Structure 1
Amino acid sequence: MAVNLALIPHFLQAGWSVEYIGSETGIEKQLISALGKVNYYAIKTGKLRRYFDWQNLKDPFKVVKGAYQAYRYIRANKPDVVFSKGGFVSVPVVLGAWLNKVPVIIHESDITPGLANKLCIPFASRICTTFPETGAHLKTDKTVYVGALIRPELKDGRARKGKDFCSFKEADKPVLLVMGGSLGSKTINRNLRESLAELGQTYNIVHLCGKGQLDASINNPAYRQYEYINEQLPDVLAMTDMVISRAGANSIFEFLSLRKPMLLIPLTQNQSRGDQLLNAESFRKSGFCEVLLEEQLTALTLTAAIHQLFHGRMRYIDNMNDHQQEDAAGAVVGLIFQIAR
């Protein structure tokens, strides 16, 4: 989603008509509506699971229906090009574009391709990658290394506005931002909340806990919780000293661009294909973060890791300052212009 939000303004400014095909139940529609001038079209989608679930029996039919919906929508609107970020909603869209002979450009954020992108790659004209080593896993000459796409508005945040938004009682404490993805993480949420009594003595904590995971029983003056933040996120990031996060590529590269020391808690091999473990290890080797495996996550280990990150924060910032950031947005926009022509 972050990649799409980073790219769409470029095309709106260039006078393009932008249409967005997304899921019926996700938060994409709310985020896209904030951009204005982008029509949102919802289709049926099925999740591509690597584990047994009774929904696996139903979801192939949803994918087929979604592909038909996408095919009809693309045929009616006749786009010049389709850009796909990946994820389970992308499969019917890419199929619909291919059936209409519309060129497709795919973006892969992680070191190894996700299942959805693996299914879509045969139908794509180009595959853009965030990590240079991804090309070795794809084994196709359609790969183009572009680097990380960063939403430019994230760099426009104002720390003072972030502090006004959160209204902490002791505003001079260092700020810890905790986020577990758009749906949140029950494991991270639970262990963080068990640590609040100690952490709140040293830090102000902003917790993006995920949809439906607010805990109204907590009353700690150093703690603010939100399901998610959209408009105020750049300001909150501007005032943040450290981040605790999953290891999704889009998020961690955004934190890297903002020079925010990170404690990464990647999804386990059982929860995913292992891509976040690879992302986190790549960042750890580069000196950008600390890593705490979920199997080792407790209230005590989380507290110790946060303190360690804070005391060594300048080392991580120095390493991030040495990182050369590519103009990934310019590369992808140029490629889309080229393919569209």
Structure 2
Amino acid sequence: MKRIVMTGGGTSGHVTPNIALFPVLKRLGFEIHYIGTRNGIERGLIEREGIPYHIISAGKLRRYLDMKNVYDAFRVMKGFVEAVSIIRKIKPNVVFSKGGFVSSPVVWAASVNRIPVIIHESDYTPGLANKISMPFAKKICYTFPETKQYIPDDKGILTGIPVRESLLKGSREKGLGICGFIENKPVIVVIGGSQGSKVLNDSIRHNLDFILKKFQVCHICGRGGVDKSLEKVRGYKQFEYINEDLSHIFAMADLVVSRAGATTIFELLALRKPNLLIPLSKKASRGDQILNANSFKKQGFSHVLMEEDLNDENFLNSLYKAYSNRRTMIEAMRSSDISNGIEKIIEVIQWATENR
């Protein structure tokens, strides 16, 4: 039996694309193993899928000077030693890395053991973990056409992001039932990412009275983000996180308001959901979400409101404008030749397995 070790963590965006590949890999006869951290978000998501989960230590990789870098360097080295041991025990045919700080020790361990490595980069520009892993990879799958300039010519393959099959099978009727919404009023779905977003949460709640005059709102607000004082507001439903029912929530959405993480926006593209993106500012990130959002805006898939320009007036104006232009966005998505990345990525994995 062919074996594959997969890795990636820190945020759901480094995990859910891996999960999207599971059904096809299983049908092709792969035995799947996953390497992650003890307390990372990836553990719960992967164990829920019934995939063997192996734990290593990991330290955060930083682009700036910090005394914590010294301590985390030891954790990274410990993780590398643990990953070497795990890979020698599993003896995989290939390693597939989605990025995040847990992934680098796994990539290095695979290289030491002469196991071919495939890396997938979701964002417009490669993250630090993927940057330092690239020399050890046989092929690097990437998502945005513009990303080609950051990838070695002999390794890069434009694949897009794998989107979970289950997301494409949602029911609007079931989504409305889950939220207790009525049929004849449009629905906005708000997604703040796996960690939630105080900025998005506050923007929605500050303007909730105005928004509810025209829309119903399903608000996925992140861990600890539920406002109990609003639990009985008609037409407004809050969730910390949604997994199994996410397909139904997306199916009922007439407009999605979201951060601009690559996994989420490519899911919106696959589902042809018009959206308003509010990317993380450069103050809180390396700026990848801004690049992601601008790429989608340029292609006509999204409306974009920068966090620096976010206030109540701009938010409401952008919300109404995006909803008014929803059909234009849907048509642009229908005309796009960017497709679900599962098929292309599986081809790369099989190629690496057969050409060790």
Alignment correspondent of 1:157: 170
Query: Which residue of the other structure, out of 160, 167, 187, is the alignment partner of 1:175?
Result: 187
Query: Which residue of the other structure, out of 25, 41, 50, is the alignment partner of 2:39?
Result: 25
- Check the 8 A contact 1:261/1:309 in 2, yes or no: yes
Separation in 2, partners of 1:68, 1:213: 38
Separation in 2, partners of 1:2, 1:274: 21
Separation in 2, partners of 1:56, 1:174: 48
- Check the 8 A contact 2:35/2:54 in 1, yes or no: yes
Counterparts of 1:208-219 in structure 2 under 5 Å?
208-218=220-230, 219=232
Amino acid in structure 2 at the alignment position of 1:106:
I
1:196 correspondence with 2:208: yes
Q: CA deviation at 1:150?
A: 1.6
Alignment correspondent of 2:276: 263
Q: CA deviation at 1:51?
A: 4.5
The alignment's TM-score, normalised by the length of structure 2, stands at 0.91
- Check the 8 A contact 2:59/2:75 in 1, yes or no: yes
The alignment's TM-score, normalised by the length of structure 1, stands at 0.95
Structure 1, unmatched stretches of 5+, are: none
Alignment correspondent of 2:30: 16
4+ residue stretches of structure 1 with deviation over 3 A? 50-57
- Check the 8 A contact 1:192/1:299 in 2, yes or no: no
1:119 correspondence with 2:132: yes
Q: CA RMSD in A?
A: 1.6
Separation in 1, partners of 2:180, 2:23: 31
- Which range moved further: 138-147 or 49-58? 49-58
- Check the 8 A contact 1:245/1:264 in 2, yes or no: yes
Separation in 2, partners of 1:197, 1:127: 47
Counterparts of 1:100-119 in structure 2 under 5 Å?
100-119=113-132
Alignment correspondent of 1:87: 100
Q: In structure 2, the residue corresponding to 1:193 is in which secondary structure?
A: helix
Amino acid in structure 2 at the alignment position of 1:136:
Q
- Which range moved further: 308-317 or 55-64? 55-64
Q: CA deviation at 1:250?
A: 1.5
Q: What do residues 181-240 of structure 1 show as CA deviations (whole Å, max 9, x unaligned)?
A: 110111111121111111122111111111122221224212111111000000110011
Q: What do residues 124-161 of structure 1 show as CA deviations (whole Å, max 9, x unaligned)?
A: 11101112221212234111111232212111001111
Change (3 A) 1:135 1:32: same
Q: CA deviation at 1:42?
A: 2.1
Alignment correspondent of 2:286: 273
1:6 correspondence with 2:20: yes
- Check the 8 A contact 1:200/1:220 in 2, yes or no: no
Q: CA deviation at 1:7?
A: 0.8
Separation in 2, partners of 1:50, 1:165: 43
Q: In structure 2, the residue corresponding to 1:220 is in which secondary structure?
A: coil
- Check the 8 A contact 1:195/1:300 in 2, yes or no: no
Identity, % of aligned positions: 46
Q: CA deviation at 1:327?
A: 5.3
- Check the 8 A contact 1:29/1:40 in 2, yes or no: yes
Change (3 A) 1:300 1:154: same
Structure 2, unmatched stretches of 5+, are: 1-14
